[in-house]
Amino acid sequence: MIDNFQNLAKKTLDDIFNLADKKSQDFDVDFEGENLIIEINNSTFVLSIHNPTQQIWMSSPISGAHHFECKEEGRGFKWISTRDNSINLLDKIDLELSSLL
């Protein structure tokens, strides 16, 4: 499961990198190890692969800290908040990045 987790987490951070890059040229998007850092207008998002818990952690200047676990859904998967099953990582980051534009 750990190898699969690593692959899924890295693919997800790549997807978020591409999302931010397409959304606006104003975003400064960089990888630092297993962290994805997105900056705009003095606001910084940090998304980290957290191997011990097999989660992706997000630090948001808008909504604070979140932890997401990978859940299988049909043939695919989604990263769902550990606090609220209705929060999906990709939807959350898309909404919050859009609010800064």
Kindly report, residue by residue over 57-94, the tens digit of the pLDDT.
999 999 999 999 999 888 889 999 999 999 999 999 99
- Measured distance CA(83)–CA(68) in Å, rounded: 9
Which are the contacts of 60, defined by CB distance < 8 A and separation ≥ 6? Answer: 45, 66, 92, 93, 96
- Measured distance CA(64)–CA(100) in Å, rounded: 15
**Interval 10-51: pLDDT, tens:** 999 999 999 998 988 889 999 998 999 999 989 999 999 999
Q: Would the pLDDT of 5 be above 70?
A: yes
Which domains are delineated in the chain? Answer: 2-86 (3.30.920.10)
